[in-house]
Structure 1
Amino acid sequence: MVINPNALGLDLPPGAMRVQPSLWYANEPAQPNTWARLLPAREASGMHPVLLVNDEDRSLTWDRDLDLDHMSHPDDHDPEEVLASLWDYDMEENEDDEDADTIAPFTAEWPGLAPAGEPAADADATAARVAAELLDAGRLPGARAGLIPVRRGADILTALGWTGACNHADSGLLSTVLRSWEDRFGLRVVALHFDRLDVSVAAPPRTMPEALAVAAEHHAFCPDTVRQGYDTIREYAAEGVLGKQHWTFWWD
């Protein structure tokens, strides 16, 4: 049973329940403190907070191509098997001599999971801060608050039928990996766009070897973030992963 958070007497923005997919959705644009205001609803109703981004200038609303009928379930997958398969697929698609420099120090063989990080802060507090910073910086245009009835925040993508990465993997596979990152790095799903995902990280890698190991997972999870934004995976590890409490992924 899904509880309507409006009936709980919480300090929530005005909003209403929706069906297909099931979620509570705010009527007004999100403010920097919105993510933090949503947290009590998670404890009271089991609904997890997320900011849903409507980039109307590009006609790319978060719900443009939802598809609940073709999602696998995260319970059916193993995170390392998912990442290894996605890594192998990317390596097959990029078999050339130049790619060896791009993925160094790795080879075409899947390197395995990165070790868990050491928490630098509370995961929920980190998520609230990252959300506020993204909103303040104008990086979440047209964002509205959402509350999603899921057991864990990593499953938000699958529960909504989100298809932003459909050219790479279905959202059930992505949620499987996000669950593992929740456990190892204190991840929280902060914002969901048409083709982009923003997450917070309470236990980011603190050394370059740790950052490289995480960067390999990111490369499998979302190759476009690395291949279309950086010259090498080492550059991405140094600039986009090392010590970073905000990770962002986008799929072409």
Structure 2
Amino acid sequence: MAKSSKVRTPLSALAEDPQGRSIGLELPPGALVSAPGRRSRGRKPESLLWVSDEPVGVGALAAYRSSALAAAGLQAVLIQGRRGLERWWQEREFSPERMSDPDDHHVEPVLREFWSRAVPDPEEGEEGEEIIAPFGRDWPGLAEAGADGVDPEAAARALADELIASGFLPSPRLALIPAGRGADVPTAMGWGGPANFENDTALISAVLRSWEDRFGARVVALGFDELHVSVAAPPRTAAHALPVAAEHFAFSPDNICQGSGSIRAYADEAVTGSNHWGFWWD
């Protein structure tokens, strides 16, 4: 009986060629991170991502976020540790098997369901109403797309450099993930950052896909429970920013409930004209 051929993935090239020269790259030292679970006899566990051994500096994302990488089926992002979880990716904090397919979801039903979970209980009265004002308890619908934006990839590179130079990301690693588009990176790696809010990260990717299309958004960095997105065409007026802020409230309620305090304040502080959308889940 003939032996079955090995299944090749976009990361297979890095297993054989750690610096990625065969796909037009010159990567720093790094290692593949495998999926959790038992090893089958004679088979190595599937690799989910490649991560640099050491932190990278300004210009790193620009150096590796290339057409050659995309052609190889890989997406480059930054991943950041946090105190007590400096290298959370080495703890195999991934569950790709529990994620569905982003293709199976549409953004509006997803955000409508998220909104229904996030809106304050009617018993909270005026205090709860103030959090979501000027909107009511019914899902307000999708915001209009942004306009007159810069090149989305240029915006992603600029944000990455800004986050590193400012110390916002003090020790980011370069990571390569096999995915067809940046919005699918959290699902492809089985990232569990929003697990206390939503266990199926494919729903998160469905929203990110829509933001890619409407606002030129790009996934730039992920932490244990944080997500940072560049925005090429953000809303420029308060009127446009409010429905976008409502989407953010549905997507990551902690941004408002444990941050700005209301959708109005959040729209002003974090959405209007902002090229950086950051999210976290408690």
- The TM-score bracket by the shorter chain reads over 0.9
Q: Which runs of 5+ in 2 are unaligned?
A: 1-8, 15-19, 36-46
Alignment partner of 2:70 out of 43, 49, 64? 43
1:28 equivalent in alignment to 2:54: yes
Query: In structure 2, do the counterparts of structure 1 residues 106 and 34 end up closer, same or farther at CA, with 3 Å as the change threshold?
Result: same
Aligned to 2:44: none
Alignment partner of 2:273 out of 239, 243, 248? 243
Q: Normalising by structure 1, report the TM-score.
A: 0.94
Between the two structures, name the one with larger relative contact order (CA 8 Å, sep ≥ 6): 1
Q: How does 1:103-252 map to 2 (within 5 A)?
A: 103-169=132-198, 170-252=200-282
Deviation at 1:103, TM superposition (A): 0.8
Q: Do the aligned residues in 1 keep the contact of 2:179 with 2:188 (CA within 8 Å)?
A: yes
Aligned to 1:86: 114
Shifted more, 134-143 versus 158-167: the winner is 134-143
> What is the aligned residue count?
251
> 1: distance between equivalents of 2:94 and 2:136?
35
RMSD: 1.7
Q: Do the aligned residues in 1 keep the contact of 2:95 with 2:192 (CA within 8 Å)?
A: yes
Q: Which amino acid aligns with 2:178?
A: P
Q: Spell out, residue by residue over 1:23-65, the C-alpha distance to the aligned partner (whole angstroms, 9 max, x if none).
A: 222122111101101112433412111101122x332544243
Q: Normalising by structure 2, report the TM-score.
A: 0.84
Query: In structure 2, do the counterparts of structure 1 residues 218 and 50 end up closer, same or farther at CA, with 3 Å as the change threshold?
Result: same
Q: Which amino acid aligns with 2:132?
A: I
Q: Which amino acid aligns with 1:7?
A: S
| Residue identity (%) | 48
Aligned to 2:84: 58
Q: Spell out, residue by residue over 1:207-242, the C-alpha distance to the aligned partner (whole angstroms, 9 max, x if none).
A: 111100100000000000111001211000001000
Q: Do the aligned residues in 1 keep the contact of 2:252 with 2:281 (CA within 8 Å)?
A: yes
Query: In structure 2, do the counterparts of structure 1 residues 195 and 96 end up closer, same or farther at CA, with 3 Å as the change threshold?
Result: same
Q: Which runs of 5+ in 1 are unaligned?
A: none
Q: Do the aligned residues in 2 keep the contact of 1:60 with 1:194 (CA within 8 Å)?
A: no
Deviation at 1:76, TM superposition (A): 1.2
Q: Do the aligned residues in 2 keep the contact of 1:11 with 1:37 (CA within 8 Å)?
A: no
Query: In structure 2, do the counterparts of structure 1 residues 184 and 136 end up closer, same or farther at CA, with 3 Å as the change threshold?
Result: same
Q: Secondary structure at the match of 2:54?
A: strand
Q: Do the aligned residues in 1 keep the contact of 2:149 with 2:216 (CA within 8 Å)?
A: no
Deviation at 1:92, TM superposition (A): 5.7
Aligned to 2:17: none
Q: Which amino acid aligns with 1:81?
A: P
Larger radius of gyration: 2
Q: Which amino acid aligns with 1:31?
A: G
Q: Secondary structure at the match of 1:234?
A: helix
Q: Do the aligned residues in 2 keep the contact of 1:50 with 1:190 (CA within 8 Å)?
A: yes
Deviation at 1:6, TM superposition (A): 4.2
